[in-house]
Structure 1
Amino acid sequence: MTTRKVRVWDLPTRLFHWLLAVLVVAAYVTGQLGGSFIQWHGRVGIAILGLLTFRLVWGFIGSTYARFADFVPGPAHLWAHLRGHWSGLGHNPLGALSVLALLGVMSYQAVTGLFANDDIAFSGPLRALVSGDTSDWLSGLHRQNYWPIIVLVALHVGAVLFYAVFKKDNLVKPMITGDKEVDEADAQAAQGGGIVALLLALAITAAVLYAATGSFIAPPPPPPVPAW
């Protein structure tokens, strides 16, 4: 079989992947430490929201294998993969479901955190937009979503190890270099996702971060000065 190296993962997708991994660990650590670290937990959460926003936009205008249209599996592709008959570049159908699930639960976690509070000293940047009861409810949802994230991350890492050990398919290296050694017949490099698409994705991300940080919310008026 003749093989050759082709570009599968573009640089923005790779940076997203590794930055998200680092920030998820940082969010876990700062959340567990609590205390003064909870402020950093909030900052990390906003950074994660920015990354997720970028990835969702990039899923429509990025390069070939980063697009949802390329890797979101239909029933036929999923069934073919389960029977060992699927072939292709990028995410396999089960991997695609894992990616979608992680994007969903992490987006849910980031958004609920914007309105959350810890009953002590921390309030999310958009806390002022909702009532106290709503903030408490969203805070509870934010805490409860901890375990689904842990489970999905563990499954994701486990799948990568399974492919490396049992299928001799290193999924990590292509996500570092961007390139993958494939059969000559399947060697179709990723296309698209140029500078215009990148600038558009960054602009949308910046707009979302502006809103998420509550920059549009007018600060409360200063307390009245005593008249003595």
Structure 2
Amino acid sequence: MSIARRADVTASAESPARVLAWDLPTRLAKWLLAALVGLAFASKYYGDIGLVWHQWNGLAILVLVVFRLFWGIVGGSTARFAGFLRGPGAVAAYAASLLRGRPQHFLGHSPAGGWMVAALLALVAAQGLTGLFTSDDIVVYGPMTAVASDATIASASAWHQRLYPFLLALIGLHVAVNVAYSLFGRDNLIAAMITGRKPAGSFVDRAPATPGAIGRALACLAAAIAVVFGGIALAGGDPFP
């Protein structure tokens, strides 16, 4: 056996096998959405006169949310909502396994984690949608304010502010749980969402994951752009702040 071959065998023996957990489009959508939400918060308070970039951030966030909805139907196995949104019984069983100190291990999202993802997407979507109708009557006019009633604008503007602390709290909880699980659990969830892989093992769900096709992801992205910008234009709004 050659020296190089022996080195490969030794490295394989020393390194645990890893399996695909999340495909590239799923990971990119997650990190881009996190970055855009952070930029939206920053642009609201720092140097964005007229909140132009804030509105573009909001539109980009809506595109990513719609993309994620499409990808949750046709994407990779661990990206599909049908694969990780489980019923109350599954959530209760997972919670019981945690309390017993013998947690169930999932290749994709756990039952609790799956509903956390759904809640985050719902809150981010609500924040983005209310932003379309938000105005301060001075310099900020959302893309849909020209065709909305004063009552709708006032209600949307109020909800845009009310949802803000709930979204921050849920993001904080999501980050804290992932950090804690990565430090003290069996899987490093943060590293897995970067690399897309987890150490091979016994999982409740199917392993390895089946990745979604890149061409299908691009089609979902194109459809999401059309839904957001086309929907605003068809409704009589201004999709370009």
Task: Work out whether the TM-score is over 0.5.
Answer: yes
CA distance in 2, matches of 1:13, 1:36: 33
CA drift at 1:58: 0.3
CA distance in 2, matches of 1:185, 1:44: 37
CA distance in 2, matches of 1:77, 1:99: 16
CA distance in 2, matches of 1:164, 1:178: 14
| 1:194 lines up with 2:213 in the alignment | yes
Map 1:22-41 onto structure 2 (within 5 A): 22-33=35-46, 36=49, 38-41=51-54
| SS state at 1:117 partner | coil
Amino acid of the structure 2 residue aligned with 1:18 = W
| 1:97 lines up with 2:115 in the alignment | yes
Map 1:198-217 onto structure 2 (within 5 A): 198-211=217-230, 214=233, 217=236
| 1:4 lines up with 2:23 in the alignment | no
Distance verdict in 2 for CA 1:26–1:185, change over 3 Å: closer
CA distance in 2, matches of 1:112, 1:185: 39
Partner of 1:48: 61
CA distance in 2, matches of 1:211, 1:146: 26
Map 1:78-227 onto structure 2 (within 5 A): 78-84=91-97, 86-183=104-201, 188-211=207-230, 214=233, 217=236
Partner of 2:7: none
Distance verdict in 2 for CA 1:168–1:133, change over 3 Å: same
Partner of 1:18: 31
| SS state at 2:200 partner | strand
CA distance in 2, matches of 1:81, 1:218: 45
Partner of 1:222: none
- How many equivalent pairs are there? 218
CA distance in 2, matches of 1:36, 1:3: 52
**Structure 1: gaps spanning 5 or more residues:** 220-228
RMSD across aligned positions (CA): 2.3
| 1:73 lines up with 2:107 in the alignment | no
CA offsets per residue over residues 97-120 of structure 1, 9 Å max, x none?
110110000000101111111221
CA distance in 2, matches of 1:94, 1:188: 19
CA drift at 1:68: 0.2
CA drift at 1:210: 1.8
Amino acid of the structure 2 residue aligned with 1:189 = P
CA distance in 1, matches of 2:76, 2:203: 20
Distance verdict in 2 for CA 1:26–1:177, change over 3 Å: same
Partner of 1:61: 74
Partner of 1:223: none
CA contact (8 A) 1:112 1:142 kept: yes
Amino acid of the structure 2 residue aligned with 1:52 = V
CA offsets per residue over residues 130-184 of structure 1, 9 Å max, x none?
1122111111111111011011000001101211232253111111111111216
Amino acid of the structure 1 residue aligned with 2:95 = L
Amino acid of the structure 2 residue aligned with 1:64 = S
Amino acid of the structure 1 residue aligned with 2:55 = G
CA distance in 1, matches of 2:81, 2:197: 19
